[in-house]
Homo-oligomer: A and B are copies of this chain.
Amino acid sequence: MGTLSVRESKTAQLKMSTVGNSTNIFWQESPVGKLERQKLLNQKGCVVWITGLSGSGKSTLACSLSRELYTRGKLSYILDGDNLRHGLNKDLGFKADDRTENIRRVGEVAKLFADAGLICIASLISPYRKDRDACRAMLPDANFVEVFMNMPLELCEARDSKGLYKLARAGKIKGFTGIDDPYEPPLKCEIEIQQKDGDCPTPGAMAGEVVSYLEEKGYLQDH
């Protein structure tokens, strides 16, 4: 009967545990680690978490940032809250529990992407502080860069590019962040994007701010 040559070493790496509803599960060590993937990519994996009101420019920044990173030869991937609701999170609604589960799953997936060596750009309203902080806590070594789109509600509502504020004001959407559901701004975040003299920064300027931060912290350097 055949055997696997790595069987003994494999067994040594295994550790049985119980997590939530899952019993008798093992942690399987992968032979290619994060450091090796980062070497291949010439960058350091991390999560850029963009939070803010609907219409505050999260997706605009995410797109502009991924474009800027691409021109520098860096691999990023956008996890867009709305897009994920078409797939991974399509079973979830907008009640508080569902929002929390939505953000938890995005956090877990973002963590996988960072572990894969990518600069993962998560773009979600993520209105509750405790949900964002739970995602931050998932990431080791402070690889969580929180970007707060600090735009006034009036501006976001005036933009209303998706027409959602209008629906929320008319009572056709319930629990809309900023209208009848709270947005809790970060008490402390890595980057805050704001208006200057009443003007919004351009997409390029916003991306530049994040890129500068990533550069400074060594995320874009070769390893």
Residues of A within 8 A of B (CB): 1-7, 10-11, 14, 16-17, 19-28, 30-32, 36-37, 40-41, 57, 59-60, 62-64, 66-67, 70, 73, 75-80, 82-83, 85-94, 98, 105, 108-109, 111-113, 115-118, 123, 138, 155, 158-159, 161-164, 167, 173, 195, 198-200, 202-203
Sample of 8 A–B contacts (CB below 8 Å): A2-B198, A21-B91, A22-B94, A28-B123, A30-B80, A31-B64, A32-B67, A112-B113
Residue of B59, B118, B200 near A116 (CB, 8 A) is B118
* Whole-angstrom CA separation of A76 from B32 in the bound complex: 9
**A113 contact set on B, CB distance < 8 A:** 112-113, 116
Interface of A is mostly: mixed
Cβ B7 vs Cβ A161 within 8 A: yes
* Whole-angstrom CA separation of A79 from B111 in the bound complex: 12
The list of the 5 closest CB pairs from A to B, nearest first, reads A2-B200, A21-B93, A20-B90, A88-B108, A22-B85
Cβ A7 vs Cβ B173 within 8 A: no
Cβ B116 vs Cβ A25 within 8 A: no
Oligomer copy total: 2
* Whole-angstrom CA separation of A112 from B84 in the bound complex: 9
The answer to whether A24 and B86 touch (CB under 8 A), given A4-B57, A6-B203, is no
Residue of B83, B87, B167 near A24 (CB, 8 A) is B167
Residue of B60, B75, B91, B167 near A20 (CB, 8 A) is B91
Residue of B24, B27, B86 near A25 (CB, 8 A) is B86
Of the listed residues A20, A25, A70, A138, the one surrounded by the most CB atoms of chain B closer than 10 A to its CB is A25
The answer to whether A14 and B159 touch (CB under 8 A), given A22-B94, A26-B82, A66-B31, is no
* Whole-angstrom CA separation of A91 from B193 in the bound complex: 35
* Whole-angstrom CA separation of A173 from B23 in the bound complex: 9
Cβ A85 vs Cβ B162 within 8 A: no
Chain B residue nearest to A21 (CB atoms) is: B93
